[in-house]
Amino acid sequence: MIVRRLTPDILGTDREVESENGNWVSRRLVLADDGVGFSFHDTIIRAGTETYIHYANHIEAVYCVAGNGEIHDIANDTTHKISDGMMYLLNNHDRHYLRGGTEDMRLICVFNPPLTGKEVHDENGHYPLMS
Ligand code: 9YT
């Protein structure tokens, strides 16, 4: 069994990753090197931000437990409000905009295959909004 807590195991370590544009911070509770086939993250999306995301190589499930925001599904030109209790599943490598709302949003995320922890730095499958 593995047991971890945000403090002291994640916050302030290399498992706490800040996005280059400052839009989010991701606390990686489980990563590929844990060897269980998925990674598990507790992510804060900052209020008022917009991030273009395309996970070309991963499936991601996201469950909101606090705050608010929205996701815009580009293929369908559809926007969904996000708040406590809402889940979205990117089962088709869906291109989307993730937008923070009026307060920071806390999202619990699962990735398959698991992130190694290096993806944010090489931008693999995950691109910032360029406009
Ligand atoms: C929900 C989402 O995709 N946020 C961006 C960060 C990502 N979850 C990560 O790298 O942990």
| pLDDT tens digits in sequence order for the chain, 131 residues long | 999 999 999 999 999 999 888 999 999 999 999 999 999 999 999 999 999 999 888 899 999 999 999 999 999 999 999 999 999 999 999 999 999 999 999 999 999 999 988 766 555 556 544 43
pLDDT at 68: 98
Distance 43 CA to ligand 1 centre (A): 6
Determine whether 67 is exposed, middle or buried from the number of CB atoms within 10 Å of its CB (0-12, 13-18, 19+): buried
Question: What's the pLDDT score for residue 17?
Answer: 92
Residues near ligand 1 with C-beta < 6 Å?
24, 26, 41, 43, 53, 62, 98, 107, 109, 120
Q: What pLDDT sits at residue 130?
A: 45
